[in-house]
Chains A and B, each alone.
Chain A
Amino acid sequence: MPSLERTFILQVPSSTENLVMIRDFVTSIAEQAGLTPGEVADMELAVDEACANVMEHAYGRDMTKEVSVRATLDGDTVEIDVIDTGQGFDPTAVEQLELDKLISSRRSGGLGMRLMKKLMDEVHYEMIPGKKNELRMIKRLRKK
């Protein structure tokens, strides 16, 4: 029997204090989807990283803006879309330096993106300049 697609949306002001709420939202959806505790933790962290990047970089800490997190479950995958209307960027231009190089250059940038790619099965960016940016992350359910 095909599974029914279910969609959940959380929209919060762009303030890092709301990261807790975002993590709780994602955790309960990932649990409902049947992910393992380890996979739930992976998704929690990946979405936190995506939203923190939006708050700090796309919106430059402007708390009047909003971040949307949309989760879609279809029985095979959990898809999370993080949507903002802030400043976009070129994901291919983000340098992926090794940890020791980052430390010696006193930078920690790009770690969030690295984590997202390691923790999720797919990560895609879609930027429509001046309109919206959408980051889509997918975790596939392992069939028992």
Chain B
Amino acid sequence: MQDGLTILSPAGFLDAHTAPEFETAVEQEIEAGHRKLIVDCQGLTYISSAGLGVFMSFLEELRESGGDIKICGPSPKVLQVFEILGFPAIFDMLPDVAAAVKRYAECPVKGGE
């Protein structure tokens, strides 16, 4: 594992009820100085726009300080929601954590190649 990478693994469903908890978890990582986040969505069974909003709200702040959010492992059902709203154009989306770690080594910030 490269230094400075932080993996968050939300599990279950991410909707308007649970998104604030995930938001707090991301906020705590950022406050602790962790800028290179990997969100492992393997355990996620469902996501709505409230969950997607969490990814969106921290992205600029992280990229401005050389960090990023890389998303990995979503099930086809969860991936479809990311795709409908055009996330793959903005976020690095990878099949698993290993691929996300590799992506950080190649390209720490998407669009910064």
Give A residues with C-beta under 8 Å from B: 16-17, 19-20, 23, 38, 41, 44-45, 48-49, 52, 55-56, 98-100, 102-104, 106, 108, 111-112, 114-115, 118-119
Decide if A100 touches B90 in the complex (CB within 8 Å). Answer: yes
Q: Which of A48, A108, A115, A119 has a CB less than 8 Å from the CB of B15?
A: A48
Q: Are B49 and A108 in contact (CB under 8 A)?
A: yes
Q: Which residues of A contact B48 (CB under 8 A)?
A: 19, 45, 48-49, 52, 112, 115
Select one of A19, A41, A98, A108 contacting B80, CB under 8 A: A41
CB within 8 Å of A: which of B91-108? none
Q: Tell me the interface secondary structure of chain A in the complex.
A: helix
Q: Give how many B residues have a beta carbon under 8 Å from the other chain's beta carbons.
A: 23
Complex contacts, B87 vs chain A, CB 8 Å: 99
Partner of B53, one of A16, A45, A104, A108: A108
| Residues of chain B lying within 8 A (CB to CB) of residue A102 | 56
In the complex, are the beta carbons of A19 and B17 less than 8 A apart? yes
Instruction: Name 29 interchain pairs, CB-CB below 8 A, sorted by A.
Output: A16-B16, A16-B17, A19-B17, A19-B48, A20-B15, A20-B17, A41-B80, A45-B46, A48-B15, A48-B16, A49-B49, A52-B15, A52-B16, A52-B49, A52-B50, A56-B16, A99-B85, A102-B56, A103-B60, A108-B49, A108-B57, A111-B49, A111-B52, A111-B53, A112-B48, A114-B85, A115-B48, A115-B49, A115-B81
